[in-house]
Structure 1
Amino acid sequence: MQTQAQLEEENAELKKRVQELEALNKWYMEQLKLLRQKKFGASSEKSKRDDQEQLNLFNEAEAERQPIAVEPDVETISYQRKKGKRGENIKDLPVEVIEYTLPEGEQTCPACGEELHVMSKEVRKELTIVPAKVKVIEHVNYVYGCRNCEKNNIETPIITANAPKALLPKSMVSAELMAYIMSQKFVNAMPLYRQEQEFKRLGVTLSRQNLSNWVIKGVALLEPLLAALKKELLSRDLLHADETTLEVLCEPGRPAQTDSYMWLYRTSGDTDHPVVLYDYQEGRSGQFAKAYLAGFSGYLQTDGWHGYHKVEEAGVTLCGCWAHVRRKFNEALVGPAAKQPDSKEAIGLAYCNKLFDVEKKAEHMTPEERHKLRQKEAKPIIEEFYKWIEACWADTLPQSLLGKALTYAQNQKKYLTAYLADGRIEISNNRAERSIKPFVIGRKNWLFCNTPGGAKSSAAVYSIIQTAIENGLNPQAYLEYAFRQIQLQDTLCIEKLLPWAEEIPVSCKMPNKKA
């Protein structure tokens, strides 16, 4: 028969086991709710106070609809014509004017027979679009000789008229077509097999293999421009970095399902000449970032991926991302208890929101003013936040969603507080995430790259296109201009091709963008 001491010990063990099972059940419920939230819930990380500014994609008509106003008892007539904004939206577009006048024989008054004069004009504007079409341009290059020399001299001078060289030797591709193909795939996310079908509908048969070869050879022509952009990137003091997976089917010695990575490096918001560059690599090792950023010294803003610590060995200062901290606390708000205003999850999220509120105040400040404001307002919030984290550990499971949020914030403290040192550093790495998004959207359409060469070409074209867009250029027009200059000039000045160069024509700039 068990003694009282044995029963008490057994009871304590059972209580402990019950607590462990309850904690494990809570963890599973959190994971289930988190997966449901990711699959069916809203993806925006903005807090509820920002929700009113967001439109529901599927209810846009209802969201934009204005409530029906109550009719006034007394009708008020106003003769003041309100100036609409429609004209502002189209003021930078090219205009074709079509005038409608009376024939000369009808420009007489039907009452008295005297000649009519123009008393006013009624102008109506409408938008039209010129669809894509394919045509052939024949470059006929005349060669001249001298009949007198042919008859009387031993040698006859041959003079050939000047003509632009082919963009690619023995190829029909033009600068316009090359820019169009690249823009369709890397801006509009249209895979080459869909472009093949589109060209067939336009009356020309161009295989996707042909299109792919053109893109790869076109990238080779852009290599000097890419090298100049990378040199400009590494000369800056502040950079952002991020990476995402990429499937490359025919990589030597690797299974087709093995993840490769597309790395992104870009300038921060402290420059008027942004640079966005992509780099394809077979893995996610920090050695790739260290090699790519060789020669860079300054601040590098990233997420919490430990691979970037390799860059620290080269003297680079890493900065963390508070948006990632906020995201983890937001993910922890999956249960009724967690959503209460006084829950630890809600409190942690509130601390993060306070820091972003400080950044909103400093949005239009100079770096010096922003630094002073952060020291005055953000630094005390961070110090209080980390004291609160220490007090939370007593009754928080490290494996829970809240525990993971606390652990991430604690482990990243050195990097999360680095932005307080310089007013130019941003509070988050959202700038890099926004820049990698076009690649992610494109990947959803074309799914994978066939070869490492294709992946490297994709990285190069994305670099040129996204840098052009960041500098207010129409990417297709800019690519066309660049290829045209490569065609026309034997010795090319790359500095004049940079997206912010004064030589870039106005036709390459996007409408409604300042020069």
Structure 2
Amino acid sequence: YATPSLLSQIITSKYQYGLPLYRQEAMFKQHGIELSRKTMADWIVRCAELFKPLYEQLHQHLLKQPVIAADETTLKVVESEKANSYMWLYASGADSPSGNIPDTATSNIVLYDYHNSRAGQCAVDFLQGYSGYLQVDGYQGYEQTQATLIGCWAHARRKFMEAKKGAGKKGSGKADWALNHIQKLYRIETQLKDKTVEVRYLTRQKKSLPLLNQLHTWLEKSVHQVLPKTKLGEAIQYCLNQWEKLVRYTLDGLLNIDNNRAERAIKPFVIGRKNWLFSQTATGANASAVLYSIIETAKANDLNVFEYVMSCLDEFSKPAPNIEQLLPWHFAKR
């Protein structure tokens, strides 16, 4: 029989530290323990089923948050007919409790959702009519949701960086101007890092909006001076197309200037994928989505992940497990 501590060891080794099951199999063998990767894979799927009620509770809490950040990345599923499946990511709060904006009641939640598609309907189904703020990159699939979309200045800046690199010896005066202007917006955000929601809002109205208006005037002028097929032309057009969403972060002090919250939250999955490369089945991919969600949410709430997973599994073994007390912010107070 697998004990909660053994299962927690296997789960955290794979999903927190990116250790594939075949390597864990070899490590167990060094200690004289015969434990096949097939057995461990079956355990992981069964554990994910146990965690599903907790995942659903977190899902409902997430949908009550005023701001959600979203992103998606590819995933290879061997038994899928499609070349690429996708792991979608939805996060609220900050990367860690210390990163919370003062005087807010937002919860740190990180949830993964597996689909064999990148269709916008995937986000629609997950968000269940959510009408708060949704911070995303420029992917059009999110337009199908009922949320108010907030753009990402990190993506806009990245496109001007690409334009600068592509310019080479020809010079990158226009790209440099845009990058310097965007940097001014980020300097304001650095000063607002630990400020209240109200101060963030008022400062952006006073300092950020005039800079944004200057940048928009420059973009509208420059779009007629730059060839549209060049990297610089694409960067300018991206900003103009996304402009309404890019300036919305000034509407509420709860909002961020970019979608880095989601990009950082999805990074552990991307790093893990480099190690284990693919999921064999959709069932395995769904199990990974659940377990990554539990681990990344635990990390975001400053919990000891191994102890948290072990305690959850221990609670699940009871006839009537108390799911509510396993929510990270309740668990931390025990």
| Shorter-chain TM band | over 0.9
The answer for the alignment partner of 1:259 in structure 2 is: 84
Are the aligned partners of 1:276 and 1:467 in contact in 2 as well (CA < 8 Å)? yes
- AA paired with 2:185? L
Secondary structure class of the residue paired with 1:228: helix
Equivalent position to 1:285, from 112, 115, 119: 119
**Does 2:303 match 1:501?**
no
- Give the aligned partner of residue 315 of structure 2: 485
Letter aligned with residue 207 of structure 1: S
Aligned-residue offset at 1:201? 0.7
Supply the distance in 2 between the matched residues of 1:461 and 1:364 (Cα, whole angstroms): 32
Whether 1:376 and 2:206 are equivalent positions in the alignment is yes
Map of 1:2-41 to 2, 5 A cutoff?
Answer: none
Letter in 2 for 1:359: E
2:229 partner letter? Q
Question: Contact 1:332/1:338 (CA < 8 Å) preserved in 2?
Answer: no
Structure 1 residue matching 2:224: 3-state secondary structure: helix
Assess if the C-alpha contact under 8 Å between 2:161 and 2:175 holds in 1. yes
In the alignment, residue 264 of structure 1 is paired with which amino acid? Answer: L
Q: How do 1:51-130 and structure 2 match up within 5 A?
A: none
What's the offset of the Cα at 1:504? 5.5
The reply to whether residue 402 of structure 1 matches residue 236 of structure 2 is: no
* Structure with greater helix share of residues: 2
Matches of 2:332 and 2:209, distance apart in 1: 45
Q: Which of the numbers 170, 180, 185 marks the counterpart of 1:355?
A: 185
Corresponding residue of 2:161: 330
Among 128, 132, 144, which residue is 1:294 paired with?
128
| 2-structure distance, mates of 1:268, 1:407 | 31
Change (3 A) 1:433 1:288: same
Which runs of 4 or more aligned residues in structure 1 lie more than 6 Å from their structure 2 counterparts after TM superposition?
Answer: none
Of 174, 197, 207, which residue of structure 1 is paired with 2:36? 207
Contact 2:65 2:106 in 1 (8 A): no
Match of 1:217 in 2: 46
SS in structure 2 of the partner of residue 236 of structure 1? coil
- Report the Cα distance in structure 1 between the residues aligned to 2:106 and 2:237, rounded to whole angstroms: 37
For 1:297, the aligned partner's letter is S
Match of 2:263 among 433, 436, 441: 433
The CA distance in 1 between the partners of 2:149 and 2:197, in whole Å, is: 19
SS in 1 for 2:112: strand
Post-superposition offset of 1:226:
0.6
Contact (CA 8 Å) 2:65, 2:107: kept in 1 or not?
no
Counterpart CA distance in 2 for 1:272 and 1:308 is 22
Q: Note the C-alpha offset of 1:224.
A: 1.1
Contact kept, 8 Å, 2:93 with 2:106, in 1: the verdict is no
After TM superposition, give the deviation of residue 332 of structure 1 in Å. Answer: 1.1
Provide the residue aligned with 1:28 in structure 2.
none
Query: CA contact under 8 A between 2:21 and 2:40: conserved in structure 1?
Result: yes
**1:486 positional shift:** 1.7
How far did residue 503 of structure 1 move?
6.4
C-alpha distance after superposition, 1:337-365 (max 9, x if no partner): 434xxx00100111110110111111111
DSSP-derived class of the 1:240 partner: strand
Structure index of larger Rg: 1
1:195 paired residue number: 24
2:248 to 390, 394, 418: 418
CA deviation vs aligned residue, 1:273-307 (integer Å, no higher than 9, x gap):
30000000011111100110004221000000011
Q: What stretches of structure 1 of length at least 5 have no aligned partner?
A: 1-171, 506-515
Q: Does 1:276 align with 2:101?
A: no
Match of 1:59 in 2: none
2:295 pairs with 1:465: yes
Contact 2:92 2:106 (C-alpha < 8 Å) held by counterparts: no
Residue 328 of structure 1 aligns to which amino acid in structure 2?
K
What is the alpha-carbon root mean square deviation over aligned residues? 1.2
- Secondary structure of 2:118's counterpart equals coil
Question: Pick from 431, 451, 464: which aligns with 2:281?
Answer: 451
Paired residues in the alignment total 323
- Which structure has the higher relative contact order (CA within 8 Å, separation 6+)? 2
Is the CA contact (8 Å cut-off) linking 1:191 and 1:445 kept in structure 2?
Answer: yes
2:223 is matched with: 393
For residue 246 of structure 1, report the CA deviation from its aligned partner: 0.3
Q: Percent identity?
A: 42
| 8 Å Cα contact 1:496/1:503 also seen in 2 | no
TM-score normalised by length of structure 1: 0.62
After superposition, the C-alpha distances for 1:170-229 in whole angstroms (9 at most, x for unaligned) are xx1110011000000001101011111111111111111100000000111111111110
Structure 1 Cα separation of the partners of residues 71 and 187 of structure 2: 25
Q: Report 1:141-220 matches (<5 A).
A: 172-220=1-49
Distance in 2 separating the partners of 1:320 and 1:263 = 17
